[in-house]
A and B are shown apart, each in its own frame.
Chain A
Amino acid sequence: MATIPSIPILRRGEVYHSLDQQPIHAIGTEAPAALLSMANSGLVKRDLNHVTASRDALRAIPAADLMQMCIEAGDHFLNGTLPVGEEEIPQSPDDYVRSLSSTSGLPHALIRMNMKKLHEVFTEMPTIMRGLTRGLDLGVLDKGYGSQEGVPVSYSANAEALSVVLPSNSPAVNALWMPALVMKIPVLLKPGREEPWTPWRVIQSFIKAGIPKEAFSFYPTDHDGSGAIIRRSKRVMMFGDDATVSQHAGDPRVEVHGSGKSKILIGEDRIDDWEKYLDIMVESVSANSGRSCINTSAILVPRHADAIAEAIAKRLDAIKPLPFEDADAKLSGFANPKFAEYINGAVDDGLKEEGAHDVNAPIRGRERHEIYQNMHYLHPTIVRCDSWDHPLANREFLFPFASVTEVPQAEMLDCIGPSLVVTAITEDQAWIDELLECPHIDRLNLGAWPTNRVKWDQPHEGNLFEFLYKRRSIHVATLAHV
């Protein structure tokens, strides 16, 4: 694409060109890759008062039809040429990959992997909906009531729209809001600063497949606008660190997707065969360049920690900065160099405390933080901690990073704390029973399964259907003619 797209605001599907145009720069250059129309907070607040029309547009379409449109949209997303920006510049899948890579620093190969993942979200929507609604006949959402396994059920929406404040760090996070459309809930999206591309393309895919444009609002905005979205929306999904999570704890309107602190635990019964699970550990730490909350950030083992840490570190050392276009590129750079500096500093600060060392340091033989082709990278890092109490033992960072710590099996579940995903490699039934009872684990993989692989019929970090709908009691009496 030679022309720079002007990515507008979408106000219930209508294009709005803001006078506040901000460039998104291609990394390492002063050249803008796009111009973003920025929404002032007053405009966002005003629109939040008028979302009923968007919901009406979705309510008018049977859920089964929305489902078919969603499946069709998957093909448009993966293979289609879709309009981008006010100019409606045709964007092929390759154009999308190049644009996103240029502003986010994600290698092409990782973007293509994320595209496939999102494509699966579109096409596996029936499975996802079954998982989220526990097999509810979606006709219930059309009629307002119905039955499930012979029991009358009715659901009412908690909000007229789902607001989402998106990050810039991983396109796949868009998977989390997409089912809302099939649930007949319109979306109001605030894209990440460097990543308007994916939510825009997902929206265009849905619209091309027939979902009414009124169902989509899209507001590039600043801190003030984001604050308005968060404070004014009845249901809002956002992403942030532990501080953000705690700030909104107990607020039923807000679902914060924070750090995952996902872990691999190997039991006493399997630890001597640890080499069999090396591939799983490496994939869990490094897939998607370690950017996902479902990447493993800590590995707890009863013994062999030194050997395990060394073996993973050697495998991770093969993941190096490469040109964006290189098909083997697996490591993402940082669009904002300050993030790389901050994260690297945090790791170094942790290592200053006795009881941990960077296992990769002697293997890679250079600094963790490297500038390659004008892009800031952090090399994969395995830290061997002597104790679970070490400050780096349970930390999560936005690059391939994990700790390896020896912890007796009997103590593991007491110390892991909140964990989005736990892969427990064991066949010890007594311990499996304890794992199933452990309140800290959101998703449990029993057996050798990477933490980063999702099953579409399982909810992820909260259940979107339960967030957007509440079950009400219902009784429908036959009308008597009097």
Chain B
Amino acid sequence: MTSQENLDQHTRDIIQHHFSPETGCPFWLKWAEEHWDPRKEITCFEDIAKFPHFQDEWLRDITNEEWVPKAFAGRPFNVFETGGTTGLPKQRVGWDDYKHDYEMFSDQLDDDAFPKGGNWLMVGPTGPRRLRLAVEHLANHRGGSCYFVDLDPRWVKKLIGRKEYDQAERYQRHVVDQAVEILKHRDIKCLFTTPRLLESLSERVSLPGNGIRGCFCGGTTMTPQMVRFLVEEVLENKALFVPTYGNTLMGLACSVPLTDDYSVTYYAPQPRAVLRVVDPDNTQRTVDYDNYGRVELTTLTKEFFMPRFLERDEAIRRKPCDRYDWDGVGDVRPFGVMEKKVIEGVY
């Protein structure tokens, strides 16, 4: 079966699951009643275009119980949050998706750089985020334990929004201080953090010098120049750098090994999630290869169905590669970054 046939079959299965009264969730069942029956209309992934764009406000305004598929009834759910700098954050319920996603990701990791049995350190947003459980599961899945240093990105965004840069830097130092202590006194081989925190850590200690062999990073824009800087100077060309693109709603898109131009291309974990790069003025249209467009995400798991969500990012549509037989997204950056100032903070 080709990857496209696999995706089409998976799409039909997921639609059947979410829109059948025996297995679906109240939200989508009600939606089908008020609109049309996707079980009849959706025969392949391309048909997903018949759905309107998923509105992420629904994840804030509609109770979490509405999103529980009947197939999961009776199992307490995890609540994972996203956003929430002000007001009620958006929430996604989940059970095992994060484990599947990160086990898939684990299969892509280089065992020399991320040795089996090696301990991990996560420096970044923990709290109510999927990432916290996911990284620990990844470490455990690979036979290691995970240490944590928390960073609250909502507080950082508030500080930056108020132009309290000094406070933001002090908070960052506070986070880095804690991470440095763990690196110095515990046997850590693998690291997950954000690019900015990675830079700050390396200003304090040599990361390879303290045992780090691999680092996977995510959460914000990484220009080729920034990636090169992280590889050559921050990780001293000694530890492997693995950029990732992901969020609570998708899971984790992997990058292919970096080349000399340090341009990062991510490939969604198909068929569980699909990324398209669309024309922002006509989102039915996928942009041509090597052109920028807005990133559109469709999540297709038995826990969560989310069609055509427009991410707040733009990216270059890249061609399939040897490892991934579907489109990639390259040089991701905040949507409209050329027109407006976007607060990214340390996240």
Residues of A with Cβ closer than 8 Å to B? Answer: 18-20, 38, 40, 42-43, 45-46, 49, 223, 227, 231
Asked whether A40 lies within 8 Å of B203 as measured between CB atoms, the reply is: no
Some 14 contacts from A to B, beta carbons below 8 A apart, are A19-B225, A19-B261, A19-B262, A20-B223, A40-B223, A40-B229, A42-B195, A42-B234, A43-B233, A46-B203, A46-B233, A49-B203, A223-B341, A231-B166
Q: Does B308 contact A (CB under 8 A)?
A: no
Asked whether B228 lies within 8 Å of A19 as measured between CB atoms, the reply is: yes
Separation of A164 and B87 alpha carbons in the complex (Å): 40
Which B residues are CB-close (under 8 A) to A38? 225
Q: Does B319 contact A (CB under 8 A)?
A: no
CB within 8 Å: A-B pair count = 36
Closest to B169 in A: A231
Instruction: Tell me the dominant secondary structure on chain B's binding face.
Output: helix
Which A residues are CB-close (under 8 A) to B261? 19
Q: Does B224 contact A (CB under 8 A)?
A: yes
* Given the contacts A42-B234, A227-B165, A231-B169, A20 and B203 also touching, CB distance less than 8 Å: no
B165, B166, B199, B224: which contacts A42 (Cβ < 8 A)? B199
Asked whether A45 lies within 8 Å of B228 as measured between CB atoms, the reply is: no
What's the minimum C-beta distance from B235 to chain A, rounded to whole angstroms?
A: 12
A20, A46, A223, A227: which contacts B225 (Cβ < 8 A)? A20
* Given the contacts A42-B196, A227-B165, A231-B165, A19 and B223 also touching, CB distance less than 8 Å: yes
Asked whether A45 lies within 8 Å of B226 as measured between CB atoms, the reply is: no
Separation of A49 and B234 alpha carbons in the complex (Å): 13
Number of chain B residues whose Cβ lies closer than 8 Å to a Cβ of chain A: 20
Asked whether A46 lies within 8 Å of B199 as measured between CB atoms, the reply is: yes
* Given the contacts A45-B203, A231-B169, A20 and B233 also touching, CB distance less than 8 Å: no
Asked whether A43 lies within 8 Å of B229 as measured between CB atoms, the reply is: yes
Separation of A42 and B262 alpha carbons in the complex (Å): 16
Separation of A188 and B234 alpha carbons in the complex (Å): 21
Residues of B with Cβ closer than 8 Å to A? Answer: 165-166, 169, 195-196, 199, 202-203, 223-226, 228-230, 233-234, 261-262, 341
Which A residues are CB-close (under 8 A) to B169? 231
Which B residues are CB-close (under 8 A) to A18? 225
Asked whether B199 lies within 8 Å of A45 as measured between CB atoms, the reply is: yes
What's the minimum C-beta distance from A14 to chain B, rounded to whole angstroms?
A: 13
* Given the contacts A19-B261, A49-B203, A227-B165, A42 and B229 also touching, CB distance less than 8 Å: yes
Q: Which of B203, B225, B226 has the most CB of A within 10 A?
A: B225
What's the minimum C-beta distance from B63 to chain A, rounded to whole angstroms?
A: 39
What's the minimum C-beta distance from A244 to chain B, rounded to whole angstroms?
A: 12
Closest to A251 in B: B166
Which A residues are CB-close (under 8 A) to B165? 227, 231
Separation of A38 and B165 alpha carbons in the complex (Å): 22
Separation of A231 and B173 alpha carbons in the complex (Å): 14
Separation of A134 and B166 alpha carbons in the complex (Å): 36
Separation of A20 and B262 alpha carbons in the complex (Å): 11
